[in-house]
């Protein structure tokens, strides 16, 4: 994988309807999206040349913008076509896909009703962790100080740039303390999610996961719930308090980037990655592969 900074790579980035040379895909320093966080984005992965659940991501992208009071000027079908074009043109059949939308430079004040809405789509290489034995060791999680905000305080269910401020701070703190990531509680002190992934636990053969009422309802999260139910595993969405973690057995996180990654430790609590985590890793990796059409 290239260690080049992201603005110095080669390839094509789709910007406002056209493919631009990677290094030319720039925005002005006076952009509303940068100053006032009027910016939403998506994170997706292509496997074998096809973007997994592309339309669901495009729908969420449009819904996030609506929560921030702006409209993405492309339909789901147009976004899906543009994303596929970027995957194809960059010749990256297995990659991460990043659509982003932001208010432009017409107005530099809190109110920016008539600013243009800019859209870009970039893709890059982001290998999945394939070594299953290494994966089954589990990652270690810190407990973040910041909490996911009350939906009365922020558009908590949008994938909005502004909501990542507390994620970056929390992840940096976790890394400095030797952890891979951090569990964030919500505004009521319940277990919510990690800084860029959702979280699951197991007890007595069932899966328990927080209700996604004040944080991002991950597309991987929904996929995992569906896969588990298809296997006949009971999935219970409920309020989970941090003190309860001592009674839970396995723990894993889910997200486009993380896919399904087991957890061995969260703060003072220990988990043992086991059969359910393994089954979800296997089912998820089978699910994301493009289906072979019958001849």
Q: So which residues are the catalytic ones?
A: 159
The binder of ligand PMP chosen from 198, 202, 209, 261 (CB under 6 A): 198
Least separation in angstroms between residue 129's CB and ligand PMP is: 15
Cα–Cα distance, 101 to 64 (Å, whole number): 10
Q: What binding mask, one character per residue, do residues 248-267 give for ligand PMP by CB under 6 A, x or -?
A: ------xxx-----------
Q: 39 near 33, Cβ under 8 Å? A: yes
Rounded to whole angstroms, the maximal C-alpha distance in the chain is: 58
Per rule CB under 6 A, is residue 104 in the interface with ligand PMP?
no
Per rule CB under 6 A, is residue 197 in the interface with ligand PMP?
yes
Q: 23 near 8, Cβ under 8 Å? A: yes
Q: What binding mask, one character per residue, do residues 125-164 give for ligand PMP by CB under 6 A, x or -?
A: ----------------------------------------
Cα–Cα distance, 240 to 238 (Å, whole number): 6
For residue 15, the cross-strand partners are: 18, 120
Least separation in angstroms between residue 192's CB and ligand PMP is: 9
User: Tokens for 121?
Assistant: 């789509």
* Closer residue to ligand PMP (CB): 219 or 281: 219
Cα–Cα distance, 193 to 215 (Å, whole number): 8
Task: Choose the binding region for ligand PMP from 26-34, 118-126, 131-139, 189-197 (rule: CB under 6 A).
Answer: 189-197
The binder of ligand PMP chosen from 70, 209, 221, 260 (CB under 6 A): 221
Identify the CA nearest to 258 among candidates 283, 230, 221.
Answer: 221
Q: Burial-class residue 71 by CB neighbours within 10 Å (0-12, 13-18, 19+).
A: exposed
Per rule CB under 6 A, is residue 216 in the interface with ligand PMP?
yes
* Closer residue to ligand PMP (CB): 33 or 218: 218
CA distance readout (Å), 25 to 11, 21, 220: 10, 7, 29
Q: What is the DSSP string of 105-163?
A: SS--SS--TTPPEEEEEEEE-------HHHHTT-EEEEEEEEEEPPTTTS-TTS-BGGG
Q: What binding mask, one character per residue, do residues 22-61 give for ligand PMP by CB under 6 A, x or -?
A: ---------------------x------------------
Task: Choose the binding region for ligand PMP from 71-79, 101-109, 212-220, 268-276 (rule: CB under 6 A).
Answer: 212-220
Which residue has its beta carbon closest to ligand PMP? 218
Least separation in angstroms between residue 154's CB and ligand PMP is: 13
Number of residues that bind ligand PMP (CB under 6 A): 14
Q: 113 near 35, Cβ under 8 Å? A: no
Positions in the binding site for ligand PMP (CB under 6 A): 43, 167, 193, 196-198, 216, 218-221, 254-256
């Amino acid at each position: 994988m290239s260690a080049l900074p992201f603005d110095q790579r080669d390839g094509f980035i789709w910007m406002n309807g056209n493919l631009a040379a990677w290094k030319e895909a720039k925005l002005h320093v006076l952009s509303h999206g940068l100053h006032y966080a009027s910016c939403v984005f998506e994170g997706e992965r292509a496997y074998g040349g096809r973007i997994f659940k592309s339309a669901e991501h495009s729908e969420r992208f449009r819904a996030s913008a609506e929560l921030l009071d702006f409209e993405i000027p492309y339909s789901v079908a147009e976004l899906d076509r543009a994303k596929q074009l970027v995957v194809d043109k960059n010749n990256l059949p297995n990659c991460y896909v990043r659509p982003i939308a932001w208010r432009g430079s017409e107005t530099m004040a809190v109110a920016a009703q008539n600013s243009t809405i800019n859209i870009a789509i970039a893709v890059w290489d982001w290998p999945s962790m394939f070594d299953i034995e290494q994966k089954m060791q589990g990652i270690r999680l810190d407990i973040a100080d910041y909490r996911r905000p009350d939906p009365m305080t922020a558009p908590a269910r949008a994938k909005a740039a502004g909501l990542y401020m507390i994620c970056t701070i929390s992840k940096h703190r976790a890394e400095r303390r030797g952890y891979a990531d951090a569990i964030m509680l919500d505004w009521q002190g319940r277990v919510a999610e990690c800084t860029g992934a959702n979280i699951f636990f197991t007890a007595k053969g069932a899966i328990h996961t927080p209700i996604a009422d004040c944080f991002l309802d991950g597309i991987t999260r929904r996929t995992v719930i569906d896969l588990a139910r298809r296997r006949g595993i009971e999935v219970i969405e409920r309020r989970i308090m941090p003190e309860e973690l001592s009674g839970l057995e396995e723990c894993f996180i889910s997200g486009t980037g993380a896919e399904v990654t087991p957890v061995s430790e969260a703060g003072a609590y220990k988990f043992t990655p086991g059969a359910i985590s393994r089954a979800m890793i296997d089912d998820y990796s089978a699910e994301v592969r493009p289906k072979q059409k019958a001849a």
